[in-house]
Amino acid sequence: MSFLRSPFNPLIKPGDVIPTRSDFEVICAFNAGVARYRDEVILLLRIAERPQNRDPNIHLCPIYDPVNDKMVILEFAKEDPRCDFSDSRLVRTDAGLFLTSISHLRLARSHDGVHFEIEDKPALFPANIYENYGIEDPRITGLGGRYYINYSGISDIGITTCLASTEDFRSYQRHGVIFYPDNKDVEIFPEKIDGKYYALHRPSPSSLGRPEIWLAESPDLLCWGNHRHLMGLRDDCFDSGRIGGGAVPFRIDEGWLEIYHGADRNNRYCLGAVLLDAKAPWRVLARSRRPIAEPETEYEVNGFFGNVIFSCGALYEDGKVKIYYGAADTCMCYAEMPLAEILSSLV
Amino acid sequence: MSFLRSPFNPLIKPGDVIPTRSDFEVICAFNAGVARYRDEVILLLRIAERPQNRDPNIHLCPIYDPVNDKMVILEFAKEDPRCDFSDSRLVRTDAGLFLTSISHLRLARSHDGVHFEIEDKPALFPANIYENYGIEDPRITGLGGRYYINYSGISDIGITTCLASTEDFRSYQRHGVIFYPDNKDVEIFPEKIDGKYYALHRPSPSSLGRPEIWLAESPDLLCWGNHRHLMGLRDDCFDSGRIGGGAVPFRIDEGWLEIYHGADRNNRYCLGAVLLDAKAPWRVLARSRRPIAEPETEYEVNGFFGNVIFSCGALYEDGKVKIYYGAADTCMCYAEMPLAEILSSLV
């Protein structure tokens, strides 16, 4: 499969990004939402920061305090037997989970699609009780001259999906929680179908069911319903552990093409593709049997969380699918694929 | 607290209900949705059935097969070490969870509110892939001359909330899945507020967050959004383990009164009450510190799943709150409480 990686990869690395505080460090710049805006490609990056830690005996967890509008740093002793530090991304305690970093969204602009100017300040920063552990993994959907940004709001209350919007990528308006816990990987379709908005979403049930892809409809982008189970895990495939939507789906002659992610039980994240019916997007017409992209390069295999290719946005232009993707939960990369090759691989 | 139990309790017992098949037995008749319809009180009972089992060496799990529209009975050997039978309600296996009974909804009618005639046939029976493990715990909300019935759709895909409606409690229309997995304990408010429908709901997140009560709004009863976390668990109270809405909320002078359920970490289910602002139902004005009802009688303490009082509906008439409730996940009961006494207990 021709997953043509840019020679400039990684396009953006953590060291390229200015932290929001002098005592913080940026450890990940990845999983960006993507839009074409005028003559520029816009990336809305997820930037994960953590407090600089000079004490080898403690772990630090940053939390945003929405009541006092300030960052709080929790300390956990590495020798504390009540704490589990085995996952680099979090600390497990009797009092619940805490994250070792906190994410916000940061804008980057490019004329050629591979060289980006990154803004110095956040575009969207945690701002309320649904975001006190950070905001993550945005997707951008252009609709009627406005750009709708949905992102994961992470907090001790749960993992929600929140909606914001902008006309100019300078000022942003928040619209509230559109999917309650646990839900991630929401992609709003860029056109109405038969008068209704549609979105892919990925609930993570706590008892029956598995982390799989559902479809919802909406009259107003804020309220979502008529939920339908769209596609499931496959025990013998690259997507045996969890799946979720990736890039915002785009319209081609054959229907809607969705680049999704599938992880196996070892948490190796690959990209797959699925073709949905143009007028009835709850109908799966064809789906990748094998990944269209899998982690192979050094920057995809090694990082904050290795063996991950994860896309939150792609552009379909000139017959090419231009895929922006986070690599190893660390940096931002780019690859191109001929549409025909993706389509011919679907079964 | 004056939780005045009816001397006719339990009003309805499993033996009062005719099973849907001669080789099935009804084991639970409980957790009914409640409505006043003309001069009758309507109960929409949850009826749990299971195959009669004459072989002491096996467990049986009934599943509805929507493709072939028939019931399938799975057999599990009691000596199979891969199966966990420790919870009477289910069998845990490597291939997932299976329930030991399957529920449908059955209508019962009464003129005096305590003596009921139970129909011979189901009102609503599992009918699609979201319901193959059964349908459970209905709530009924009257709105604009129509009665909206939401219920839990249980399946191997997850625990959803589905919507149906009726004008006459004879014919029913299904409207699809309104809350994706995991979500239970949905109560739709019986009036629009400022042009919007509102509902309580109870997500069960798989990672961050706990089983707590949220509020959602809707333009059309089908699509729900602007989700807000309404109220949480309290570590030192009767509701330290899980909470969820119970009866459909009803309007009083002071706001909206909601009778909810709270369980502690030992799965002892009590009723509490919460008062919500009349025009801003996302504002909690007052809440029970102690239960307004707790399992005490023999039929509440002992049963299919003991120590449970669980209400899906109440009527507020003549200054009295008429609470219908499932007892011990087995039978249907009734109690009255003076509204003033509930209100004076809230803090």
Which domains, and CATH codes, for chain B? 4-344 (2.115.10.20)
A230's tokens: 């769209």
| SS3 label, residue A93 | strand
- Residue A29 confidence (pLDDT): 98
B130:A229 CB<8 A: yes
Could you list the pLDDT tens digit for every one of the 347 residues in chain B? Answer: 799 999 999 999 999 999 999 999 999 999 999 999 999 999 999 999 999 999 999 999 999 999 999 999 999 999 999 999 998 889 999 888 999 999 999 999 999 999 999 999 999 999 999 999 999 999 999 999 999 999 999 999 999 999 999 999 999 999 999 999 999 999 999 999 999 999 999 999 988 999 999 999 999 999 999 999 999 999 999 999 999 999 999 999 999 999 999 999 999 999 999 999 999 999 999 999 999 999 999 999 999 999 999 999 999 999 999 999 999 999 999 999 999 999 999 99
CB contact under 8 A, B159 and A227: no
Percentage of chain A with pLDDT > 90? Answer: 97
Chain A residues whose beta carbon lies within 8 Å of the beta carbon of residue B223: 216-220, 223-226
Whole-number mean pLDDT of chain B? 97
3-class SS of residue A330: coil
Q: What is the pLDDT of residue A310?
A: 98
| ipTM value > 0.85 | yes
Q: Does B129 touch chain A (CB under 8 A)?
A: yes
B198 touches chain A (CB under 8 A): no
SS (H, E, C) chain B: CCCEECCCCCCECHHHCCCCCCCEEEEEEEEEEEEEECCEEEEEEEEEEEECCCCCCEEEEEEEECCCCEEEEEEEECCCCCCECCCCCEEEECCEEEECCEEEEEEEEECCCCCCEECCCCCECCCCHHHCCEEEEEEEEEECCEEEEEEEEEECCEEEEEEEEECCCCCCEEEEEEECCCEEEEEECCCCECCEEEEEEEECECCCCCCCEEEEEECCCCEEEEEEEEECCCCCCCCCCEEEECCCCEEECCEEEEEEEEECCCCCEEEEEEEECCCCCCCEEEEECCCCECCCCHHHHCCCCCCEEEEEEEEEECCEEEEEEEECCCEEEEEEEEHHHHHHHEC
Report the pLDDT value the prediction gives residue B94, as an integer from 0 to 100.
86
What string of H, E and C letters represents the secondary structure of A187-211?
Answer: EECCCCECCEEEEEEEECECCCCCC
pLDDT at B85: 93
- Taking the C-alpha atoms of residue A32 and residue A29, their distance in angstroms, rounded to an integer, is 8
Cβ of A229 under 8 Å from any chain B Cβ? yes
Q: How far apart are CA A337 and CA A315, in angstroms?
A: 11
pLDDT digits (tens, 9 = 90+) for A196-217: 999 999 999 988 999 999 999 9
- Chain A nearest-CA distance from B5, in A, is 34
Q: Which of B206, B221, B231, B242 to mutate to test the interface with A (most CBs of A within 10 A)?
A: B206
pLDDT (tens digit per residue) in B239-249: 999 999 999 99
* Furthest-apart CA atoms within chain B: distance in Å: 59
Confidence (pLDDT) at B175 = 98
CB distance B59 to B340 below 8 Å: no
Q: Which of A155, A180, A218 has the CB atom closest to B203's CB atom? A: A180
Q: State residue B87's pLDDT score.
A: 87
A204 and B204 within 8 Å at the Cβ level: the answer is: no
Note the pLDDT of residue A12: 98
Q: Which of A75-84, A249-258, B224-233, B292-301 has the lowest mean pLDDT?
A: A75-84
Query: What average pLDDT is seen over chain A?
Result: 97
Token reading at B304: 């299919």
Given a contact cutoff of 8 angstroms between Cβ atoms, the answer to whether B227 and B168 are in contact is no
Q: How far is A231 from chain B (nearest CA, A)?
A: 11
Could B229 and A179 be called an inter-chain contact, meaning their C-beta atoms sit closer than 8 Å? no
Interface residue of B131, B152, B224, B228 to substitute, partner A, most A CBs within 10 Å: B224
Q: Give residue B95's pLDDT.
A: 85
How close B154 gets to chain A, by Cα (Å)? Answer: 8
CA A161 and chain centroid, separation: 11
* Per-residue pLDDT reduced to its tens digit, B19-62: 999 999 999 999 999 999 999 999 999 999 999 999 999 999 99
B223/A223 Cβ within 8 A: yes
Interface check A180 vs B, CB under 8 A: yes
Q: Round to whole Å and give the CA distance between A329 and A46.
A: 10
CB A326 within 8 A of CB A338: no
Mutate to test the interface with B, among A89, A173, A182, A214 (most CBs of B within 10 A): A182
Chosen from B182, B184, B210, B282 to mutate, greatest number of chain A CBs within 10 A:
B182
pLDDT value at position B156?
96
Report the pLDDT value the prediction gives residue A1, as an integer from 0 to 100.
Answer: 79
Residues from chain A that touch B96, judged by Cβ atoms under 8 A, are 208
Q: Is A206 on the interface with B (CB under 8 A)?
A: yes
pLDDT of A298 above 90: yes
Q: Out of B182, B222, B228, whose CB is closest to A205?
A: B182
